[in-house]
Homo-oligomer: A and B are copies of this chain.
């Protein structure tokens, strides 16, 4: 492995001079700079960043911690994060927690060991507070994306779950739906909780009763069946829901699959709406009515905020960026119904 000393020897200068031209620091005569640069090129020298990190306490490494890159929302988030990171000269380590707090913990430890400069994280749930504190103890700045955790001093990039939910529900209500069921995730995840609360509030505001049996919880894990759906479908037609609000597109798809297995067509027999778009899919068959969130921006801006903090360019206070959803009406919500 060629080192700074090999270059120094070849260029007849000291290692410091080499270091200076590499980092463009201090004043160097054009002549020696050229000598050094030639030597670097001739020997194909590339600085060892482990050695640099040891000195500078900076690794130029960031990490994006999400639940699953395979979820189209997070795929886009990842693309945004990588783009910004690279643009600013950082590399990005990707971690999938699969909604599992333990996995998240292990990753956080590994990232601390790697001394990453910053972390962009969509936490697995409120319990993640402990993991975030570990980051803080190690002075690793992080920004929370998509999911909020209370009382954590950090930058955040969040969606507007209240507004997104309201868009979707009012669209259904306007179409005549009165019995709207919801499939949500664990309430320990802020997005799920907020959408849940917004659901309750919006129904009330519209003088609709909130039927507890219409609230179905999913675990955000891989199991194929949503428990409790079939039970709902067995209700007499004038009692069963006419529409479903799924808390995200993953769940909406599970749901639609299950409805079809139960012999129901979407949207003819049941309207379905959800959060988050299905990028490629919509090009082929614009089907799902969604509150579309700017996933790419979650990653891009989230990364920008950590980098600013890493490099000391941040204001003293913490910032909270709010990204607005957009209602996109497509087939799955059907048209007006008459009871």
B96 touches A93 (CB 8 A): no
A82 touches B54 (CB 8 A): no
Total identical chains: 2
**A residues 133-172 with Cβ under 8 Å of B?**
134, 137-138
Q: Does A53 contact B (CB under 8 A)?
A: yes
Please name all residues of chain B whose beta carbon is closer than 8 Å to the beta carbon of A44 when the two chains form the complex.
134, 137
- Pick the contact of A115: B50, B256, B288 (CB < 8 A): B50
**A residues 258-299 with Cβ under 8 Å of B?**
278-281, 283-285, 287-288
0/1 interface trace, chain A 73-117, chain B, CB 8 Å (1 if under): 001101100110010000111111000000000010111111100
B285 touches A257 (CB 8 A): no
Bound: A75/B78 CA distance, A: 10
Q: Does A16 contact B (CB under 8 A)?
A: no
- Pick the contact of A280: B49, B76, B107, B253 (CB < 8 A): B253
A91 touches B91 (CB 8 A): no
Please name all residues of chain B whose beta carbon is closer than 8 Å to the beta carbon of A93 when the two chains form the complex.
61, 91-94
Please name all residues of chain B whose beta carbon is closer than 8 Å to the beta carbon of A72 when the two chains form the complex.
280
Q: Does A29 contact B (CB under 8 A)?
A: no
Size category, A interface = 35 or more
A113 touches B256 (CB 8 A): no
Please name all residues of chain B whose beta carbon is closer than 8 Å to the beta carbon of A114 when the two chains form the complex.
49, 61, 91
A51 touches B48 (CB 8 A): no
Q: Does A59 contact B (CB under 8 A)?
A: yes
Residues of A with Cβ closer than 8 Å to B? 1, 44, 46-51, 53-54, 57, 59, 61, 63, 68-70, 72, 75-76, 78-79, 82-83, 86, 91-96, 107, 109-115, 134, 137-138, 249-250, 253, 256-257, 278-281, 283-285, 287-288
Bound: A111/B91 CA distance, A: 9
Please name all residues of chain B whose beta carbon is closer than 8 Å to the beta carbon of A49 when the two chains form the complex.
113-115
Q: Given the known inter-chain contacts A113-B48, A285-B285, please indicate yes or no for A70 contacting B79, CB distance below 8 A.
A: yes
- Pick the contact of A69: B75, B86, B278 (CB < 8 A): B75
A257 touches B283 (CB 8 A): yes
Tell me the minimal C-beta distance from A56 to chain B in angstroms: 10
